[in-house]
Structure 1
Amino acid sequence: MNNPKKGKSSDLYRHIAAQGDAMTEFYTLSTDKRQELLDSIITVNDLADSADADEGPA
């Protein structure tokens, strides 16, 4: 019989490993490239927040 918890746990471990790989790759970038990436993430988040505010309450 298939154990549903096993699949979810496995997915979680893969997700955590992928995050670790992404962080390792991030820290191998130069300081300028890291800052550029962080600035672009902040810009995207600001745009998303702005769009949410324009929609008004649900």
Structure 2
Amino acid sequence: MYYQRRANLDDAKAIAPLWMAFLEERSQHDPGMVLKPDFDFVSYVKQKLESP
């Protein structure tokens, strides 16, 4: 059985690599999208999870 739940701050470390992989793939197909090499994906995901 599969359960869905809303992500929380404890999930940020698990979500960040998925988000990073998505953005890296997307940036390969979108020349206008440039990723910063030192971008902190965990902090970004935490910020998004904290916002309403």
Return the TM-score normalized by structure 1: 0.34
Greater Cα radius of gyration, structure 1 or 2: 1
RCO higher in structure (CA 8 A, sep ≥6): 2
Return the TM-score normalized by structure 2: 0.37
Whose helix fraction is larger, Structure 1's or Structure 2's? 1
